[in-house]
């Protein structure tokens, strides 16, 4: 460094402590049996469960509240061969545990699904018995 280079060095203020990241979902690796939305557990099964602003169908969850980024029929969840698969049907994206779904993803109990921005969060659980 040439003359005057030490003039570029300045004391920086102490860094603020980093915020604690949100706790990661507790995944147990087993397929979920229910989707939880607004305190209600909805059974998952071979017949698809549609989620969106205004999904059409016998098994549907209409998300309430701010609908920015939520499609009429946003995603589909269905049991397939012992697993539960989520299929993104939206143009806006569906997120599982913070990561964007690329078409389809296998779900596990403890996963969190977000539709929309800032979004509505749905939780997947496994109920025994």
User: DSSP letters of 36-50?
Assistant: EETTEEEE--SS-EE
Predicted local distance difference test score (pLDDT) of residue 8: 47
Q: What is the value of pTM for the model shown? A: 0.75
Predicted local distance difference test score (pLDDT) of residue 26: 57
Q: Across the strands, what pairs with 84?
A: 79, 107
Contact 61, 124 (CB under 8 A): no
Mean of pLDDT values over 75-98: 93
Distance CA 73, CA 15 (A): 44
Residue 7 φ/ψ, nearest 5 degrees: -70, -20
Predicted local distance difference test score (pLDDT) of residue 83: 92
Share the mean pLDDT of the chain.
83
- With a CB cutoff of 8 Å and minimum separation 6, the contacts of 57 are 48, 50
Predicted local distance difference test score (pLDDT) of residue 11: 54
Band the pLDDT of 68: cuts 50, 70, 90. Answer: confident
């Amino acid at each position: 460094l040439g003359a005057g280079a030490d003039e570029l060095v300045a004391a920086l203020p102490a860094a603020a402590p980093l915020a604690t990241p949100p706790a990661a979902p507790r995944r147990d690796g087993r397929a979920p049996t229910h989707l939880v939305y607004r305190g209600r557990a909805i059974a998952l099964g071979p017949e698809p469960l549609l989620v969106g602003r205004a999904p059409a169908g016998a098994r549907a969850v209409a998300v309430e509240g701010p609908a920015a980024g939520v499609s009429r029929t946003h995603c589909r969840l269905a049991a397939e061969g012992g697993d539960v698969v989520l299929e993104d049907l939206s143009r806006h994206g569906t997120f599982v545990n913070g990561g964007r779904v690329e078409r389809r993803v296998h779900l596990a109990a403890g996963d969190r699904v977000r539709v929309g921005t800032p979004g509505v969060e749905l939780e997947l659980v496994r109920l025994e018995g």
